[in-house]
Amino acid sequence: MTTALTRAARLNAATSPSGTLLHHRTLTPADTGIVHLGLGNFHRAHQAVYTGAALAHEEGPWGILGVAGRSTEVADALRAQDLRYTVAEVSPDGTRCIIPAVHTGVLVAAREPEQVQRALAAPGTRVLSLTVTENGYTYSPRTGGLDLDHPGVRADLRGNRAAPQTTLGRIVRALQERATTHGAPVTVVSCDNLVGNGDHTRRLVEEFISHLPAGEREEVDAWLTAGNVAFPNTMVDRIVPATTDAERTAVAEALGLRDEVPVPAEPFTMWVLEDRFAASRPAWEAAGALFTDDVQPYELLKVRLLNGTHSLIAYLGALAGRDTIPESTAQPFVTDAARAVLWDEYLPSLTVPDEVDLDAYVTQLFTRWSNSALGHRTRQVGSDGSVKLRQRIPGPALLHLRAGRMPHHLALTVAAYLSCLAPAAGFDPGEHAAAMIDPARERLAHLRVRTGGGPSFAAAVLDDGLFGDELPQHPEFASRVGEFFDLIHARGPLAAAAEAACKP
């Protein structure tokens, strides 16, 4: 820990420098209008910043009660800092510190479940927003529906209304409570990288309700059908890495204050939402959010061009021993592969919104990925690939395969992912790949041991439903993935990328 850090006074309400505050209103717990599930860095550098900037423009009861799932670290640090934290906007030109100051409370669901349910059901809660990651929606990759084999889902469907374990359980039990007591409408705003995130959340909520025992489901079902809950689709974008001591030190140097939980973020930020709210909402448009009737073109643009390409950069980079995304894109073979997958394989699968200047958007993506001051790690982007890639790969891959074209770079993405997560014996994918966290890691390792070379392993993975039901109907895709898997093992990621580049 640096001297600047150890000597500095703690950030709190009294010490927050006025010039860094996004707004100057006083919020009390009675001003809570938003309950947000997922207290991670992304929420704190995205929705919280938009809400703070909206409050600067227009007064309103838009304090956020932030709910962490299980981890107590951030919540406890925030409590010790009067719920204040810094967003450190990091670019090669320097660091700009801002303090959103929008939280009116923090809770940990596993520790304080009843309080969480009370807050979600409170009549003053008009917005229930979510950043629980692709993984947090407990749905089955094969069917896209609720994962009825998930132990948490099973427990929540059976039971304890006061202390659900899953996000879906929390939402549905709160909606039940609202429906059967005061009936105040609420908007559920998913801010995760799922295509059609609002529609998807609505479907899962309805499915959850349909599995409740008779006598528990009718009232909430009718209330939902009557339009008391809205689920707008949204597209969220901002690169927000995990916090390290570098940001703690940067904040200590810039503000002279000790913040245990600052959030690093790139300067770029974007939020596109459907304006379908069941109750009022903050003036997020005053903070730069875009409201539109149709979010899908923006979602596809982002989930495919940014997130899809990001995955390839992360896996190739990790296999080449690169710690960060900018270090990965600094290698010409990675940039070439990223350009190829973006332009030739993702782009034909979407319609660019009229308002977006495609060339400028893509140029900006490569600039964002080269922000070496930010240090977004390949292991972070590469984690949870089993749930992320199914949002990114199958749609575009099927489009090409049905037209008789092989999407070589999408196959390379899957092969690089499998090489990181389930390498064959004797192949070391490196420390960055080894550090990737993925709920499917064990299952993949098991499949790899059971099968022979790359093609039969890839076929087993696809047949297992990791990328949905349709991709396995094109066995040529699994063969290509398998060939790249073998090539990465035999000659490394550069040779595999060169092979992908040679194919028309």
Q: CA-CA-CA-CA torsion for 21, 27, 28, 29, nearest 10 degrees? A: -90
| Least Cβ distance, residue 177 to ligand CS2 (angstroms) | 32
Say if CB 111 and CB 118 are below 8 A apart. Answer: no
Instruction: Please identify, using beta-carbon distances, which residue of 51 and 309 lies nearer to ligand CS2.
Output: 309
Site string for ligand CS2, 256-295 (x = CB under 6 A): ----------------------------------------
Q: Is 310 in the site for ligand CS2 (CB under 6 A)?
A: yes
CB of 307 to ligand CS2, least distance (A): 4
* Residue closer to ligand CS2, measured from CB, 306 or 415: 306
DSSP string, 30-77: GGEEEEEE--SHHHHHTHHHHHHHHHHHS--S-EEEEEESS--HHHHH
Nearer to ligand CS2, 23 or 310 (CB): 310
Residue 310: closest CA among 396, 417, 394: 417
User: Least separation, in Å, of the C-beta of 240 and ligand CS2?
Assistant: 7
Span of 47-55, 140-148, 342-350, 380-388 interacting with ligand CS2 by CB under 6 A: 380-388
Nearer to ligand CS2, 176 or 380 (CB): 380
Q: Which residue has the tokens 């719920």?
A: 83
User: Is 238 a binder of ligand CS2 (CB under 6 A)?
Assistant: yes
**Amino acid identity of 103?**
H
Q: Counting runs of H as helices and runs of E as strands, what totals does the chain give?
A: 24, 14
Binding region for ligand CS2 (CB under 6 A) out of 232-240, 286-294, 477-485, 494-502: 232-240
- Token pair 């959850």 is at which residue? 208
- Site for ligand CS2 contains 379 (CB under 6 A): no
> Which C-beta is closer to ligand CS2: that of 220 or that of 287?
287
Of 381 and 471, CB closest to ligand CS2 = 381
- CB nearer to ligand CS2: give 200 or 238: 238
Q: Is 237 in the site for ligand CS2 (CB under 6 A)?
A: yes
Phi, psi of 290 (to 5 degrees): -110, 125
Instruction: Decide: 318 and 382 in contact? Cβ < 8 Å.
Output: yes
What span, in angstroms and rounded, lies between the C-alpha atoms of 110 and 104? 19
Whichever of 38 and 455 has its CB closer to ligand CS2, that residue is: 38
Instruction: Pick between residue 43 and residue 388 the one whose CB is nearest to ligand CS2.
Output: 388
In the set 178, 377, 388, 390, which binds ligand CS2 (CB under 6 A)? 388
When asked if residue 300 is in the footprint of ligand CS2 (CB under 6 A), the reply is no
User: Which residues on neighbouring strands pair with residue 98, listed in sequence order?
Assistant: 87
> Residue 265, SS3?
strand
Which residue's entry shows tokens 């962490």?
68
In this chain, which stretch among 142-150, 157-165, 234-242, 282-290 interacts with ligand CS2, using CB under 6 A?
234-242
Place of tokens 């940039």: 335
Strand order in the sheet with 94-98: 94-98, 87-91, 263-265
Based on the shown chain and the rule CB under 6 A, indicate whether residue 307 belongs to the binding site for ligand CS2. Answer: yes
Site residues for ligand CS2, window 128-167 (CB under 6 A)? none
Give whole-number Cα distances, 3 to 60, 81, 85, 249, in Å. 41, 20, 20, 9
Which class for 471: exposed (0-12), middle (13-18), buried (19 or more C-beta within 10 A)? buried
Half-sphere exposure for 307 (CA within 13 Å, toward CB):
27
Stretch of 68-76, 231-239, 293-301, 429-437 lying at the interface with ligand CS2 (CB under 6 A): 231-239
Number of residues engaging ligand CS2 in binding (CB under 6 A): 10
Q: How far apart are the first and last CA of the chain?
A: 52
Residue 70, amino acid: R
Stretch that binds ligand CS2, among 27-35, 86-94, 221-229, 237-245 (CB under 6 A): 237-245
Nearer to ligand CS2, 239 or 341 (CB): 239
Binding string, residues 162-201; x marks residues near ligand CS2 by CB under 6 A: -------------------------------x--------
Strand, coil or helix: 195: coil
Sign of CA dihedral 152, 277, 65, 161: negative
In angstroms, give the least distance from the CB of 361 to ligand CS2. Answer: 13
Among 68, 90, 116, 239, binds ligand CS2 (CB under 6 A): 239
Closest residue to ligand CS2, Cβ-based? 310
In the bound state with ligand CS2, the residue whose beta carbon lies nearer, of 166 and 197, is: 197
- Smallest gap from Cβ 483 to ligand CS2, in A, equals 25
478 counts as binding ligand CS2 under rule CB under 6 A = no
| C-beta of 229 vs 341, nearer to ligand CS2 | 341
H or E element: which one contains 253? Answer: helix 245-255
CB nearer to ligand CS2: give 281 or 388.
388
- Closest separation between CB of residue 102 and ligand CS2, Å? 20
Grouping H, G, I as helix, E, B as strand and the rest as coil, residue 479 is helix
For 234, the 3-state DSSP assignment is strand
Nearest to 137 by CA among 173, 163, 168: 168
Q: What residue ranges bind ligand CS2 (CB under 6 A)?
A: 193, 237-239, 306-307, 310, 380-381, 388
